[in-house]
């Protein structure tokens, strides 16, 4: 049970699965990771040094995108601007990462309350100033469920007119909007995308396929519903999909409860079907593999995780792999493409 194994002890648990890196030359832009100085969402700190230990473990990580995680907020000033502290914190680390020989944080997705409507522009402008050229957009988590451990944040409903106006403003200013929901909410995603057609939207973690609490032992039923919703969402050309989150306990495979973390083969066996379906309906040019570290590190190490993605994508063409592992993320977050 790794919740009780923070820090060094968790690293010892992760190190029980050692794998040779597959396709070590394949360039990877990791489009989703976090950093925090306290216990964060895992029970242990995760600093840039910790992240560089992971990104430097064998895969060819040529850049990364930081995703907001409510870290290092300002402790005073207007509430709607306190999240600017996280951008300041990461932007400074990102600049230092250039000289460190570790993977560079090339883009930052911050947090902004889009339910402010048009007033969210003030927050976006502050983020832009704080981001030192790396700010690319925001995430405002709307994931929520009646099951208490999945309650999520008390954020605005996705059909709230102010929420939709805020999402439109994100796109109007040239930014990207990340969404995190749970699969029972997926029917709302296409409505948001169609209401905000000029906003690039990135749907995180395969749309949040739940497998715990009331969703335990219902995987076949849930995946059938999920596939229907994914096909509808994929019809919205402004939506990208992140293929990941597969190490999180909420996804139903409690790798964190075992004596050993997941291997790449175990992950590929569990997730090949839904991920390949997602690639089929969205196209590789709108799908991107993500680490979601260190949240996914509760169940799997960095090398086995990316190995599993390479196993799942083994049948893809070289161009499709460039998209899945780099170029789709680069398009979504306005970074240089590989040719």
Q: Is residue 5 part of a domain?
A: no
Q: Is residue 274 part of a domain?
A: yes
pLDDT at 149: 86
Lowest average pLDDT, out of 104-118, 189-203, 245-259, 281-295, goes to 245-259
CA–CA distances in Å: residue 243 to residues 199, 207, 275: 20, 9, 7
Sign of CA dihedral 13, 17, 19, 21: negative
Query: What is the tally of structural domains in the chain?
Result: 1
Q: Is residue 139 part of a domain?
A: yes
Q: Is residue 132 part of a domain?
A: yes
Residue pLDDT, tens place only, 131-152:
999 999 999 999 999 998 888 7
Q: Give the pLDDT mean for 46-55.
A: 96
| Cα gap 163→118, rounded to integer Å | 9
pLDDT at 141: 96
Q: Is residue 122 part of a domain?
A: yes
CA dihedral (212, 288, 233, 162) in degrees, to 10, reads: 90
- How long a stretch of residues is the chain? 339
Q: Is residue 339 part of a domain?
A: no
pLDDT at 3: 44
Does pLDDT of 4 surpass 60? no
Does pLDDT of 98 surpass 70? yes
Residue pLDDT, tens place only, 212-237:
999 999 999 999 999 999 999 999 99
pLDDT at 40: 76
CA–CA distances in Å: residue 70 to residues 37, 101, 141: 11, 27, 11
| Cα gap 293→54, rounded to integer Å | 9
Q: Is residue 145 part of a domain?
A: yes
Indicate which CATH number applies to the domain containing 214: 3.20.20.140
pLDDT at 39: 80
pLDDT at 215: 97
Q: Give the pLDDT mean for 81-85.
A: 98
Q: How many CB atoms lie within 10 A of CB 333?
A: 25
Does pLDDT of 6 surpass 80? no
Adjacency order of strands within the sheet including 60-67: 27-33, 60-67, 105-111, 135-139, 176-179, 201-203, 239-243, 287-289
Rounded percentage of the chain residues whose pLDDT exceeds 90: 90
pLDDT band at 336 (very low <50, low <70, confident <90, very high): very high
Structure tokens at 230: 């994914």
Asked whether the beta carbons of 111 and 68 are under 8 A apart, the reply is yes
Mean pLDDT over the full length of the chain: 95
| Cα gap 52→101, rounded to integer Å | 9
pLDDT at 8: 62
Domain of 257, in residue numbers: 26-332
pLDDT band at 7 (very low <50, low <70, confident <90, very high): low
Q: Is residue 49 part of a domain?
A: yes
Greater pLDDT, 162 or 5: 162
pLDDT at 156: 87
């Amino acid at each position: 049970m790794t919740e009780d194994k923070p820090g060094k002890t968790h690293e010892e648990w992760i190190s029980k699965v050692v794998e040779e890196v597959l396709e070590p030359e394949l360039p990877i832009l990791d489009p989703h990771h976090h950093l925090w100085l306290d216990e964060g969402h895992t029970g242990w700190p995760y600093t840039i040094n910790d992240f560089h230990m992971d990104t430097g473990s064998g895969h060819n990580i040529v850049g990364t995108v930081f995703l907001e995680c409510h870290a290092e907020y300002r402790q005073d000033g207007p509430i709607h601007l306190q999240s600017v502290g996280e951008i300041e914190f990461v932007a400074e680390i990102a600049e230092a990462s250039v000289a460190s020989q570790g993977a560079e944080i090339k883009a930052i997705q911050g947090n902004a309350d889009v339910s402010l409507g048009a007033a969210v522009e003030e927050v976006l402008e502050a983020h832009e100033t704080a981001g030192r050229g790396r700010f690319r957009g925001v995430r405002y988590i709307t994931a929520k469920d009646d099951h208490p451990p999945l309650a999520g944040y008390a954020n605005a409903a996705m059909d709230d007119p102010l929420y939709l106006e805020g999402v439109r403003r994100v796109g109007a200013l040239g930014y990207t909007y990340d969404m995190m929901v749970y699969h029972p909410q997926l029917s709302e995603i296409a409505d948001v995308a169609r209401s905000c057609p000029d906003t690039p939207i990135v749907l995180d973690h395969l749309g949040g396929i739940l497998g715990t609490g009331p969703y335990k032992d219902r995987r076949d039923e849930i995946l059938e519903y999920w596939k229907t919703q994914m096909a509808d969402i994929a019809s919205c050309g402004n939506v990208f999909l992140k293929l990941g989150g597969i190490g999180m306990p909420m996804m139903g495979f409690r790798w964190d409860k075992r004596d050993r973390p997941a291997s790449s083969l175990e992950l590929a066996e569990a997730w090949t079907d839904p991920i390949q379906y997602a690639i089929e309906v969205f196209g590789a040019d709108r799908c991107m593999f993500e680490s979601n570290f260190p949240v996914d590190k509760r169940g799997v190490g960095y090398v086995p995780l990316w190995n599993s993605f390479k196993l799942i994508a083994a049948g893809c063409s070289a161009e499709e792999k460039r998209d899945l592992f780099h170029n789709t993320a680069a398009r979504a977050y306005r970074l240089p493409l590989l040719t």
